[in-house]
Each structure stands twice: as structure tokens, then as C-alpha cells.
Chains A and B, each alone.
Chain A
Amino acid sequence: MSEVIKNRYEFVVLFDVENGNPNGDPDAGNMPRIDPESGLGLVTDVCLKRKIRNYVETVKEDTEGFKIYIKEDIPLNRSDREACKSLGIEETEDKKVTDALKKLKKSDPDADIKLRDYMCSNFYDIRTFGAVMTTFVKASLNCGQVRGPVQIGFARSIAPVISQEVTITRVAITTEKDAENKSTEMGRKSIVPYGLYRAEGYVSANLARKVTGFSEGDLELLWEAIINMFENDHSAARGKMAVRELIVFKHSKELGDCPAYKLFDAVEVRKKEDVEYPRKYQDYTVEIHEEKIPDSVEVKRMV
């Protein structure tokens, strides 16, 4: 495995959606998330992390060191019992397992840390985003909580988005009973005609070095995953989504060279003046104000 990252990073992702629903709001009947006061569209951090996990899972196919912990299918705890056997614990009582664990805990006070490191080295998403683990010893601080180096905020659209209800029909009826009375069923979809969203993220080299061991190779994979996060995520609901810009700021030091907000402020995304209703990416301009960025920070446009 390659070396642990040595630099702090910040990144800005611009992605757009055309005639689709980037992130449904469970509170609003799965309509696109909209900030009610400003009218700006929202995409949650967890939505984007899901896409990154899915991409890594697709590409790496569970190879050693690139497993994904939080998956979309297959139930949890399926073969607990099997595992007990291979541990040499023939009894399949839960109590026996607990006892064995207690014994281990007594003989090895660092067991929690060892297990944490084991999880970090095996699972890409834990190494990247962190995870919460139960611990053997009650109230043993933080052994079970892994903070990953990569932190992503909510994505917001540049201009207010409108959500449009599209009513659709289908000719196949689900139940026999309904089929007697009607020949079509109505459904509805909510779409955003067009929206350009901006997400901001942070990579802490310190957490990578001290906790999870997030490496240069992992970072490359993260960029690749962000760039391609919508390419394998097409569905009826999403419409056309694409990452338009990934701007990466690489600090020269582990702790960074300047505040993150200064770098983010240097990336200006504007609607072109003659455009009233933006409907395509070309209706916007993206400008990076180099003069606001310290020389020691390296700026890379990855898309």
C-alpha cells in the first residue's frame, strides 16, 4: 500500500442535474430537497458519500483493502454462527462469545485499537469517512469511534431551483381488483429542470496519519470516485447528472497554509448575465481567482 498522505486538501465539486431528482426529500414526498427560504436546492453529504462508496465498490469489487462496510444489500450478521466455529468456539451461544471476548480484553488491553486498525486497513469507506464501532469496554473512550480524514458538507445549488411535478401513466395495473375499474394508473415524478450544485470538502492529513492510514493511493481513488460518481448511478429518477468540475487545493503542509474559506471564496461560479433561466452548464461561468490563493497552495482542476 502506498504512503499515508502528507498534505491537507480542500476540494470543490460542481455537478449538475438535468430533468432529474438529485436527492429526494423524505419529508416532502421525495421531491428534490429545497431550502424553503432561499429556494436553493440541497444535496446531503450522505448522498454524495453513498455515490463514492458505490463507485469504489463497483470498481474494486471487494478486493483486499478496498471493501465497503456500508452496503446497499445483503442482510447484516448473516453468518455469525459460522464465524464462531472457525474461532474454535463450538458453542453457538452468544454468551460464550462474550466470555471469550472478555478474556481477550483482559489479556490484551489494546484489543479495541487493534480491531480498529484492522477495520481501517480493510475497508475503504472506514479509512475515508470513518465509522462508529461498539467497544468491549464500556465507556472506553473513542476506541470505537473512527473519524475519517474526508469530510463533506451539504451541496447547494448556485441558483434557486424549481421542482416540477411530472405526472405519468402506466398501463399495467398492480392488482386484479383495480384492473376491473380502470385501464391506466397514474404516478408522479418530481424533477429539477436544471440545477448546478456545489459541494465543498476537506481532507485532513493529520487524521489520516494518526488514525486511519488514508494513503496517496486512496486519495487518487477518491478523486476518481468523485469524478465518476454519477456515471454508474443512472436511474429513472436521477435524469442526467454529471460532475462538471473538481477543483482540488493541495496545501504544502500537513496542517495547511491558509484557511479553507479563503480557498472556497476564490472559486466563483456565476450565472451568465444574459441568461434568465439557466438550463445548461454553459449558462454558468466558473472562475478561479488565483490572486486570492497563496502561492504555496497548488490548485488542480481535475475534470
Chain B
Amino acid sequence: MGVGVKVRVWGNYALFSRPEMKVERCSYDIITPSAARGILEAVYWHPGMRWVVDKIHVVNPVQFTSVRRNEVKSKILASNVLQVYNGAKKPLYISTKADIVQRASLLLRDVEYVIEAHFEMTERANETDNPGKFKDIIMRRLRRGECFHMPYFGCREFPANFCLCEEEDIRTAYDEVEEKDLGFMLFDMDYSDRTHIQPMFFRAVMKQGVLDLRDCEVVR
């Protein structure tokens, strides 16, 4: 392939929300392919390329913890902003007293993964873009720890440390576990039709600590 990379990522906490439990958020057992893609995009991304996650190695055992926080439940209303933008004199803010809601989150703790991925060129690449160039930029950034913004595990309060993984042999906590079925997981969102974004799911089966995504069946 030549354009593949291996990235080791780790952090204290992680939260990959299950879509079916997202009010009181509950994390998946392991990182989703879309979250892994997000981490890579935080390091480097360009319209001329597309990240494809091949394999995820689950290095640390899966452990959960929970945190309940005061959150606000409303978003900024675009209509309100427009009115103020057009010169209306009115207060524009969210009051936490009125909009407060307490929500628990079931988090993962002490996570570490190795993400194996490659990128493909898209038709939005410029004439001067080529896989070699992208690859060089990516490797440089991974080695130096440069990033567009700090990558995170599902939510921004759970930063993800990252480095280039140079080991050939990756040890995981589940090396001895032949097969562990994690059930249906979110694969990614399908953005091909921008007015109708669709989630895609797949059956996650971890074999000896590795989730292989290269040849998995995706259901919509």
C-alpha cells in the first residue's frame, strides 16, 4: 500500500457514545472506526485525501467509570442570532439556571489503541498533490507531535495522546482471547448525500485484541 500508517493513541478517559444511549451517554467498549478517523484527521487532513481505518488494536483492557455533570440542554438558536445580527436589542445567551440538566456519562478509562489506517486520494486533490507528499507530511507530524488540534477520544474533554507506532508486533490485553463479540457498532456516517446523512453499522468482532475493518459488512 505504501500509504499506511500506524498510530499509537492513549489517554485517561474516553467516551464513544452509543447512539441508542446518548442522553445519558454510554460508551462503546472500544473506539469506533469513525472516532479513530477523527483522531487521524485532527493530526492531518486535506480535501484531497480520505482516511480509511484498517485495523484497531485494543491494547488496554476495557474498564468503565461514570461521571455525572451539570450540562445545558439547549443550543444557540440561529434564528435568535439572526435577529440580533440584524440589529435587534435583545439578550443573547443561555441561562444555566433555566437550562440545566444533570446527565451521567459512562466513560472508558485508561485506554490505549493502535490504529492502522491508510489514506486514499479523492478527486478534490490539487494537481500538485500526490500520496507521497501527504505521507511525508503525516509522518513528520506524527514524529514531531504536531497536530491541527489536539485529538480526543469521543469528547473534547478526553484528550488523546498520540505517537507514531514503530513496533511490528503489537501486544494487547486480549492476545489470549480468541474471539470477543462486541455486537453492532457504529462504523461511520455516510456523508455522500449531504442533506441526508446516514449512520452505518457493523458487527464488531475482536479477534486476539484486533478489530479488522478491512473486509467488514456495513449495514445501514
Binding site for B on A (CB under 8 A): 25-27, 33, 35-37, 42, 44-46, 67-80, 82-84, 86-87, 97-98, 101, 104, 111-112, 114-115, 118-119, 122-123, 131-136, 138-141, 144, 147, 149, 151-154, 156, 200, 202, 204, 206-207, 253, 255-262
> What residues of chain B lie closer than 8 Å to A86, measured between beta carbons?
83, 86-89
Main SS at interface, chain A:
mixed
Is B94 engaged at the interface, CB distance under 8 Å to the other chain?
yes
Q: Which residue numbers of B lie inside 8 Å of A, CB to CB?
A: 12-13, 65-72, 74-99, 102, 104, 141, 144-150, 152, 156-159, 161-163, 191, 194-197
Residue of B whose beta carbon sits closest to that of A206:
B148
8 pairs of A and B residues whose beta carbons are closest in the complex: A259-B145, A83-B88, A255-B146, A204-B149, A83-B83, A133-B76, A45-B157, A202-B150
- A139 close to B195 (CB less than 8 A): yes
Instruction: Verify A87–B83 contact, CB threshold 8 A.
Output: yes
- In the assembled complex, which residues on chain B have CB atoms less than 8 Å from the CB atom of A112? 78
Partner of A69, one of B12, B66, B76, B141: B76
Of chain A, the residue at the smallest CB distance from B98 is: A75
Q: How far is the CB of B160 from the nearest CB of chain A, in Å?
A: 10
Beyond A154-B12, A207-B149, is A260–B86 a contact (Cβ under 8 Å)? no
Give the contacting residue for B75; candidates A87, A133, A136, A152; CB below 8 A: A133
Inter-chain CA distance A84–B75, complex, in Å, is: 20
Query: Are A87 and B196 in contact (CB-based, < 8 A)?
Result: no
In contact, B85 and A115 (Cβ under 8 angstroms): yes
Q: Which of B71, B92, B93, B99 neighbours the largest number of chain A CB atoms within 10 Å of its CB?
A: B93
Closest residue on chain A to residue B89 by CB atoms:
A86
How far is it, in angstroms, between the C-alpha of A84 and the C-alpha of B76 when the chains are bound?
17
How far, in whole Å, are A303 and B52 apart by their CA atoms in the complex? 45
Given A122-B92, A133-B81, A258-B145, 14 additional A-B pairs, CB 8 A: A26-B69, A27-B67, A33-B67, A71-B93, A78-B90, A79-B91, A87-B86, A97-B83, A131-B75, A132-B76, A139-B197, A144-B76, A259-B162, A262-B145
Is A27 in contact with B72, judged by CB distance below 8 angstroms? no
B194 touches A98 (CB 8 A): no
Q: Is the Cβ of B102 less than 8 Å from the Cβ of A98? A: no
Residue in B closest to A101 when the chains form the complex, CB atoms: B79
Cβ distance A5 to chain B, nearest Cβ, rounded Å: 13
A111 to chain B: closest residue by CB: B82
Q: B78 and A133: CB pair below 8 A?
A: yes
Note all chain A residues with C-beta closer than 8 A to B78.
101, 112, 115, 133-136, 144
In the bound assembly, the distance between CA atoms of A153 and B96 in angstroms comes to 21
**Closest chain B CB from A222 CB (angstroms):** 16
CB distance from B46 to the nearest CB of A (A): 13
